[in-house]
């Protein structure tokens, strides 16, 4: 073996930083065509040389692709990179984060089973659990995010899964993953963590004992507000039934979106450093502003889960939820006066986005329903992008003066 080969092998075995993994993970060793950039494999099916090649494929001796609903080389590059970023054995791509969640629930929850979820989570996830899973005979119990004692009390003989976001939406609650896993695993319950709001740069739940980690890759992973995708990562054993379910249900990502996701992941560490910096600085500034009643951001000492967040996370991302010291009309004046962020749903892109949850997502809910979810008239969710901090802050300042 040459000196160059030995050096290369030693580098491969050494721990690598987040940015190095984001750029090189899952790609270099799989490039038969020697292209620096993984190509878009724009095909719906894959041909075989002869009948024996088909038999070898079916009997597991010829690992390759067969049909576009079950796999694509562009997908595989993304999945390998996700394994590296998350510290997992296997990953699956989906057409959206919501598809990742629903397919995983279908795969892991048989009829007459039971799931425990936390109260502060994406409204469409809650809707699916309440309106669809329960039709299949799956019972749902909702607990407060940080209450691991309640988690222990609610586990039953038929409980199969504990699911939570961390950080949650919209209050950015951060779950003590190690404790939740200890409680759940003691009773044979799997733990699924949606950590979309953190990204694998800031939080790797598999290292803290979670069985599966889920993302809406539309957000920080893609990073440019130009694709829809979802991911699930975990052990081969747990991921395999989810992969099979995705092949049956058909919620697959197309190869072009997979390519965009692969490209976005290469700059994940760089982007997250800027999101973290902007988010922390803006949260601290907003907390001291007289027009702001309260700020929810895990990086603030005032956040109920600040100590847990500090222990588990590298940084706290760019999403800040805050309540203005005004009514709905004042909140509308504020958000309409902003010039830099786009008023739009979603988060995690290079462009700052802002929304009033009451008008963007909860307008058709009754006041009682909104109150039960903690959605107030003056709540703002701000996803800071990677623009210059001084420019974002100046825009927020002038808008706050309009209240």
Catalytic residue among 120, 194, 254, 305: 194
Residue-level length of the chain = 403
* 214 burial type by CB count under 10 A (0-12 exposed, 13-18 middle, 19+ buried): buried
For residue 168 the two structure tokens come to 């949650």
Catalytic residue status for 182: no
DSSP assigned state of 80: H
- 381 belongs to the catalytic site: no
Phi then psi for residue 327, to 5 deg, are -100, -170
C-alpha dist (Å) from residue 65 to 41, 203, 365: 11, 32, 46
Q: Known catalytic residue: 219? A: yes
- Active-site residue (options: 16, 56, 69, 126): 69
Whose CA is closest to 382, among 366, 371, 398, 393?
A: 393
Burial class (CB in 10 A: 0-12, 13-18, 19+), 149: exposed
Catalytic residue among 122, 201, 259, 297: 122
What six digits make up the tokens of 191?
């733990």
**Is position 122 annotated as part of the catalytic site?**
yes
CA distances from 228 to 17, 216, 224 (A): 27, 8, 11
Active-site residue identified among 21, 76, 81, 219: 219
Please give the positions annotated as active site: 69, 122, 194, 219
């Amino acid at each position: 073996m040459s000196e160059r080969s030995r050096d290369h092998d030693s580098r491969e075995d050494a721990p690598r930083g987040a940015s190095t993994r984001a750029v090189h993970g899952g790609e270099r060793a799989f490039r038969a065509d020697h292209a620096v950039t993984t190509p878009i494999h724009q095909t719906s099916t894959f041909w075989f040389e002869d009948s024996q090649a088909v038999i070898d494929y079916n009997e597991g001796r010829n690992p390759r692709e067969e049909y576009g609903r079950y796999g694509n080389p562009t997908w595989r590059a993304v999945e390998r990179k996700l394994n590296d970023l998350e510290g997992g054995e296997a990953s699956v791509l989906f057409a959206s984060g919501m598809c990742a969640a629903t397919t995983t629930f279908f795969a892991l929850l048989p009829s007459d089973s039971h799931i425990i979820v936390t109260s502060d989570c994406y409204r469409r996830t809650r809707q699916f659990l309440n309106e669809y899973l329960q039709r299949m005979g799956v019972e749902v119990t909702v607990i407060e995010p940080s209450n691991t004692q309640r988690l222990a009390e609610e586990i039953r003989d038929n409980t199969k899964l504990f699911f939570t976001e961390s950080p949650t939406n919209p209050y950015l609650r951060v779950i003590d993953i190690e404790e939740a896993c200890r409680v759940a695993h003691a009773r044979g319950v799997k733990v699924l963590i949606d950590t979309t709001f953190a990204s694998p740069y800031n939080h790797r739940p598999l290292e803290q004992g979670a069985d599966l980690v889920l993302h809406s890759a539309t957000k920080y992973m893609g990073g440019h507000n130009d694709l829809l995708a979802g991911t699930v990562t975990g052990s081969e054993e747990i991921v395999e039934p989810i992969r099979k379910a995705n092949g049956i249900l058909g919620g697959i990502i197309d190869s072009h979106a997979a390519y965009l996701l692969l490209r976005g992941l290469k700059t994940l560490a760089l982007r997250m450093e800027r999101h973290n910096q902007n988010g922390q600085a803006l949260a601290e500034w907003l907390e001291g502003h007289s027009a702001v009643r309260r700020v929810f951001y895990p990086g603030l000492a005032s956040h109920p889960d600040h100590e847990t967040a500090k222990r588990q996370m590298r940084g706290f991302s760019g999403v800040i939820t805050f309540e203005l010291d005004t009514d709905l009309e004042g909140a509308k004046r504020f958000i309409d006066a902003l010039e830099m962020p786009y008023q739009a749903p979603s988060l995690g892109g290079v462009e700052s986005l802002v929304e009033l949850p009451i008008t963007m997502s909860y307008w058709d809910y009754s006041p009682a329903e909104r109150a039960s979810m903690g959605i107030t008239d003056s709540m703002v969710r701000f996803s800071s992008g990677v623009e210059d901090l001084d420019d974002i802050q100046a825009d927020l300042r002038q808008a706050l003066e309009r209240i």
